[in-house]
Amino acid sequence: MCGIIGYVGSKQAAPILLEGLSKLEYRGYDSAGIAVFSDDGITVKKSRGRLSVLSEMTDSGTNVSGTVGIGHTRWATHGEPSDVNSHPHLSSSGRFAVVHNGIIENYIPLKKKLMDKGIEFVSETDTEVVAHLFEYYYNGDVIDTMIKVIERVEGSYALGILSLDQPNEFIAVRKASPMIVGLGEGENFIASDVTAILNHTRNIYYLEDDEIVVLRADGVKVYNVDREEVKKEPFQVSWDVSAAEKGGYEHFMMKEIEEQPKALAETINPRIQDGKIVLDDISLTADYVKGINKIYIIACGSAYHVGVVGKYVIEKLCRIPVEAIVASEFRYSDPLITDKDLAIIISQSGETADTLAALKEAKSKGARTIGIVNVVGSAIANASDDVLYTWAGPEIAVATTKAYSTQLSVIYLLSVYMAKLAGRIDDAEYTKLVEEIKRLPELVSGILEKKEQVQYLASKFFNCHSIFFIGRNLDYAVSLEGSLKLKEISYIHSEAYAAGELKHGTISLIENGTLVVALATGDALFDKTVSNIKEVKARGAVVLGLAKADEPHRQDSGDYVIELPRVNELFMPSLAVIPLQLFGYYVASLKGCDIDKPRNLAKSVTVE
Ligand code: F6R
């Protein structure tokens, strides 16, 4: 939910911290701050508002001198966005400065205990407890102190801490919140995510829960809670620096929309060899698949919408019952999941708190778990029995596009793979389906080439107050995503409805000029959806339809029609979602919204 960074080396720390924070702003952007060792002790600069406010305050970091420091960009949880609630937080004497990503769940009793001892708190944050606890338990040894602190705090944390007595180093730890260590030449880093340090190093350590790391310019030491040194294998990041840069685009979202053919190709192609789906990453057998009682697909937001598509596709191909369920509901529903069931957990970031908790709940009931995850080494990837990575590269825009698309492609591969293993499809059908999945990158590329049509349609409708999305079955699943994409970045109210369900209440909201986006991309249900389109048109709606270019009656699907190429109907969601992403983007752009950083949101939701 927040982004943290730390630097120790021979260069000036503040500009490096600010540059790193600019790559982490997607994680939170309501305030930012840095703490740097300077000749006079620890200098803290922090402010409510975007990182640009802090940049201005520090002259892009040039007026804060020192070569060791930590930084933070915040998405408020405890306490409103304000200067005083911004990180870093100092202990009472100013001896320790702390940046934190996560939630200290037991901060109230800890705060009370410290206040009873006369310690004064200045902010409303949970993090300030850590700063005071550190000072309270400090015995001259930062590792011992860190062990004492993490023994007492509950919840999730990635912490970076400066100690006045150790001006040539800083200490960090993580649990259930992401943090990597970057290993440079004469300089070392911590960061919430590799994109923040890619300009400096590609050599990183992934940290396990409660591994404590002490960073100096000339080396990094990692310890466990028994204070034993842990030997770690560095991991070489292969991402291109440009993957985390805008590269001439006005927004990351458009760059990521355009990257979808490449991301799809990178996710699909290595997994299709000689016409066969190869999922070496998991080890499913025919007997296992045949014996699955039920599949749960568990995720949040857009990743859940992938799950809704997955329900239709897996049930159709494998004839196994599937329930797609949002993680925050699953975890508290006392689910009936058992060891006969399979849980598919979908997450771009791999750190969404509800999804991670749901994964643990599924495992605790004995279910096998497969993670579909984008961020390598993330908590969900680590905790899943098997992982199928999406190879989308870093996704920076808060509204997901390429991660959604690559997640869909993995669901297709897995569905066809399981259907074949279980003998539910024959060789001929299998070959055809595999061929169709292979076509997706090129088909998506063709749709993107016609994006001006969507831009034109957006210019007609960007002043709407409310927009409905309707569709049946897979089209309904894509409607959910189209509606979310639009509302989260343009702030236009929108709802997605199963087309046949509208007349059971919601149709009363349709009035003259209401825009309804109608997806009618399926052959079998085309006429049924057209009937629903007629119902809303009869009540004054203007309809923007999506239909296949070779559908003879496609003009019946709307007053304006976006035509899509034909692919096996099960995979149409990959094509239909593209104009909807573009529509959301262009509407938000015409409304002058902050597309990459929509209000109130953050990219990784590490709180429940
Ligand atoms: C919407 C969006 C969110 C995420 C959701 C889950 O555009 O991006 O709805 O899909 O917060 O995040 P991950 O996939 O990281 O678990």
Q: Please, are residues 21 and 88 in contact by the beta-carbon 8 Å criterion?
A: no
Which residue's CA lies nearest to atom 16 of ligand 1?
A: 347
Q: Is the CB of 348 under 6 A from ligand 1?
A: yes
Tokens 């404590």, located at residue: 212
148 C-alpha vs ligand 1 centroid, how far in Å?
35
**Catalytic residue of the set 2, 300, 318, 593:** 2
Q: Is residue 597 part of a domain?
A: no
Q: Is the CB of 596 under 6 A from ligand 1?
A: no
266 C-alpha vs ligand 1 centroid, how far in Å?
21
Longest dimension (CA), the chain: 79
604 C-alpha vs ligand 1 centroid, how far in Å?
7
Last residue of a domain, which of 219, 241, 263? Answer: 241
Q: Is the CB of 193 under 6 A from ligand 1?
A: no
pLDDT digits (tens, 9 = 90+) for 448-459: 999 999 999 999
Q: Is the CB of 490 under 6 A from ligand 1?
A: no
What distance in Å separates the CA atoms of residue 401 and residue 73, rounded to the nearest whole number? 23
Q: Is residue 55 part of a domain?
A: yes
Structure tokens at 443: 């088909």
Q: In the prediction, which pLDDT does 600 show? A: 85
Q: Among 193, 298, 304, 349, say which to mutate for ligand 1: greatest number of ligand atoms within 8 Å of CB.
A: 349
Q: Answer whether residue 463 shows pLDDT above 80.
A: yes
> Which residue segment(s) compose the domain that 112 sits in?
3-241
What distance in Å separates the CA atoms of residue 120 and residue 114, rounded to the nearest whole number? 8
Which residue's CA lies nearest to atom 3 of ligand 1?
A: 301
Give the distance from CA 150 to its chain's centroid: 27
Q: Is the CB of 85 under 6 A from ligand 1?
A: no
Q: Is the CB of 347 under 6 A from ligand 1?
A: yes
154 and 268 in one domain?
no
Last residue of a domain, which of 218, 241, 264? Answer: 241
540 and 410 in one domain?
no
Atom of ligand 1 nearest to the CA of 403: 14
Atom of ligand 1 nearest to the CA of 404: 10
Structure tokens at 197: 């340090």
Q: Is residue 599 part of a domain?
A: no
394 C-alpha vs ligand 1 centroid, how far in Å?
14
How many domains does the chain divide into? 3
Higher pLDDT, 407 or 176: 407
Which residue's CA lies nearest to atom 7 of ligand 1?
A: 399
Last residue of a domain, which of 241, 261, 279? Answer: 241
pLDDT digits (tens, 9 = 90+) for 559-606: 999 999 999 999 999 999 999 999 999 999 999 999 999 988 877 777
467 and 576 in one domain?
yes
Q: Is the CB of 156 under 6 A from ligand 1?
A: no
440 and 454 in one domain?
no
Q: Among 297, 300, 597, say which to mutate for ligand 1: greatest number of ligand atoms within 8 Å of CB.
A: 300
Average pLDDT over residues 52-59: 96
454 and 395 in one domain?
no
Cβ neighbours of residue 184 closer than 8 Å, sequence gap 6 or more: 9, 200, 201, 203
186 C-alpha vs ligand 1 centroid, how far in Å?
37
Q: Answer whether residue 361 shows pLDDT above 90.
A: yes
209 and 279 in one domain?
no
402 C-alpha vs ligand 1 centroid, how far in Å?
11
DSSP track, 242-266: GGGS-TT-S-HHHHHHHTHHHHHHH
Q: Answer whether residue 345 shows pLDDT above 90.
A: yes
Banded model confidence at residue 442, pLDDT cuts 50, 70, 90 = very high
531 and 396 in one domain?
no
311 and 216 in one domain?
no
488 C-alpha vs ligand 1 centroid, how far in Å?
11
100 and 167 in one domain?
yes
Q: In the prediction, which pLDDT does 26 show? A: 85
Atom of ligand 1 nearest to the CA of 301: 9
**Catalytic residue of the set 111, 232, 255, 603:** 603
Q: Note if the bond before 88 is cis, omega within 30 degrees.
A: yes
Atom of ligand 1 nearest to the CA of 380: 16
Q: What is the mean pLDDT of the chain?
A: 95
301 C-alpha vs ligand 1 centroid, how far in Å?
5
What distance in Å separates the CA atoms of residue 484 and residue 478, rounded to the nearest whole number? 10
Strand partners, 472: none
462 and 433 in one domain?
no
Atom of ligand 1 nearest to the CA of 355: 16
pLDDT digits (tens, 9 = 90+) for 526-539: 999 999 999 999 99
Q: Is the CB of 606 under 6 A from ligand 1?
A: no
Q: Pick the closest to residue 307 from 441, 415, 440, 417 (CA basis).
A: 415
Q: Pick the closest to residue 393 from 198, 523, 208, 529 (CA basis).
A: 198
Which residue's CA lies nearest to atom 11 of ligand 1?
A: 301
Q: Is residue 598 part of a domain?
A: no
Atom of ligand 1 nearest to the CA of 605: 11
Q: Among 352, 398, 400, say which to mutate for ligand 1: greatest number of ligand atoms within 8 Å of CB.
A: 400
Least confident span in 6-10, 299-303, 442-446, 502-506: 502-506
456: Cα within 13 Å, side-chain hemisphere: 8
Banded model confidence at residue 244, pLDDT cuts 50, 70, 90 = confident
Q: In the prediction, which pLDDT does 544 show? A: 98
Q: Is the CB of 188 under 6 A from ligand 1?
A: no
Residue 121 is given by DSSP the state P
At 317, which CATH number? Answer: 3.40.50.10490
Q: Is the CB of 9 under 6 A from ligand 1?
A: no
Give the distance from CA 240 to its chain's centroid: 19
Atom of ligand 1 nearest to the CA of 302: 10
305 C-alpha vs ligand 1 centroid, how far in Å?
10
Atom of ligand 1 nearest to the CA of 407: 14
Atom of ligand 1 nearest to the CA of 303: 10
306 and 168 in one domain?
no
Structure tokens at 189: 């880093």
2 is catalytic: yes
Which residue's CA lies nearest to atom 10 of ligand 1?
A: 302
Q: Is residue 102 part of a domain?
A: yes
400 C-alpha vs ligand 1 centroid, how far in Å?
7
pLDDT digits (tens, 9 = 90+) for 127-158: 999 999 999 999 999 999 999 999 999 988 99
pLDDT digits (tens, 9 = 90+) for 391-411: 999 999 999 999 999 999 999
440 and 314 in one domain?
yes
Q: Is the CB of 328 under 6 A from ligand 1?
A: no
Residue 307 is given by DSSP the state H
Angle between helix 427-449 and 402-421 (nearest 10): 170
Q: Is residue 577 part of a domain?
A: yes
- Is the pTM of the predicted complex or chain greater than 0.75? yes
Q: Is residue 246 part of a domain?
A: no
- What is the CB neighbour count within 10 angstroms for residue 331? 22
598 C-alpha vs ligand 1 centroid, how far in Å?
13
Q: Is residue 196 part of a domain?
A: yes
